[in-house]
Amino acid sequence: MLKIILICVYRQTKQTVDFCTFLENLEITLNKIRRRTFEYIVMCGDFNIDFLGESNEKVLSINIINSFNLDITVKVPTRKTFK
């Protein structure tokens, strides 16, 4: 039997939620999960971060994700907003 955990993440837009608080909560959650034995960790959801552009939010998010040996597998936009 596989031990899999599914984490669903949603971050409100940057105008309504402090980004540092979001990252702290994400890190706390991942630390709790790391203490248990799972063969697979799947994290999905909406970070409301533009991963195509360059920003501190993108860099900090990737650093935390990578620090837990997780990989970002979505490489293309899942939604485009036209102005």
Q: Phi and psi (nearest 5°) for 72?
A: -85, 120
E runs forming strands in 1-83: 4-10, 40-46
Total-model pTM: 0.80
Q: Name every residue whose Cβ is closer than 8 Å to that of residue 71 and which is 6 or more positions away in sequence.
A: 65
In this predicted model, what pLDDT tens digit does every residue of 33-57 receive, in sequence order?
A: 988 888 889 999 988 888 888 989 9
* Domain residue extents for the chain: 4-67
Please, which pLDDT band fits residue 79 given cuts at 50, 70 and 90?
A: confident
Mean pLDDT within 49-67:
90
Whether the predicted pLDDT of 67 surpasses 90: yes
